[in-house]
Structure 1
Amino acid sequence: MVRPREFDEQQALSAAMQVFWEKGYEATSISDLTTRMGIQRPSLYAAFGGKKELFETVLHKYTQISLTYIENLLSRAPSAREAVRIYLQGIIEGGGGRQTNLGCLCINTMVELAPHDQSFAHLTKDYQLRITELLRQTIEDGIRKGELASGLNAVAIARALTVSAVGLAVTMKSAPEHAYVENAVTELLTLLV
Structure 2
Amino acid sequence: MVVILLCTDKYRKSDRTYGKTPEFDEQQALAAAMQVFLEKGYEASSISDLTSRMGIQRPSLYAAFGGKKELFEAALNKFAQMSLSFIENGMRNAPSVKEAARTYFQGIIEGVGGSKPELGCLCVNTMVELAPHDKIYAQFTKDYQTKLTELFRQTIENGIRTGELSNRLNAEAVARALTISAIGLSVTMKTGPDRSYVENATAEILSLLE
* TM class by smaller structure: over 0.9
Structure 2 residue runs without a partner (length 5+): 1-17
Pick one of 112, 127, 135 that aligns with 1:110. Answer: 127
Which residue of the partner structure matches residue 76 of structure 1? 93
- Structure-to-structure mapping, 1:29-178, within 5 angstroms: 29-95=46-112, 99-178=116-195
Letter in 2 for 1:106: C
Partner of 2:21: 4
Distance 2:169 2:152 in 1: 13
2:38 corresponds in structure 1 to 21
SS in structure 2 at match of 1:6: coil
Cα distance in 1 between the residues matched to 2:119 and 2:169: 34
Contact between 1:69 and 1:96, CA under 8 Å: does it hold in 2? no
Q: Using the alignment, how far apart are the partners of 1:66 and 1:96 within structure 2?
A: 13
Q: Which moved more, 1:150-159 or 1:90-99?
A: 90-99
C-alpha RMSD of the superposition: 1.2
* Greater shift in the superposed pair: 105-114 or 77-86: 77-86
Identify which of 162, 185, 192 aligns with 2:202.
185
| Paired positions, count | 193
Give, in angstroms, the shift of residue 98 of structure 1. Answer: 6.0
Q: For the Cα contact (< 8 Å) 1:19–1:33, is it kept in 2?
A: yes
- In the alignment, the residues of structure 2 paired with residue 128 and residue 72 of structure 1 have an alpha-carbon distance, to the nearest angstrom, of 17
Q: Is the 8 A contact 1:100 1:173 kept in 2?
A: yes
1:79 Cα deviation (Å)? 1.0
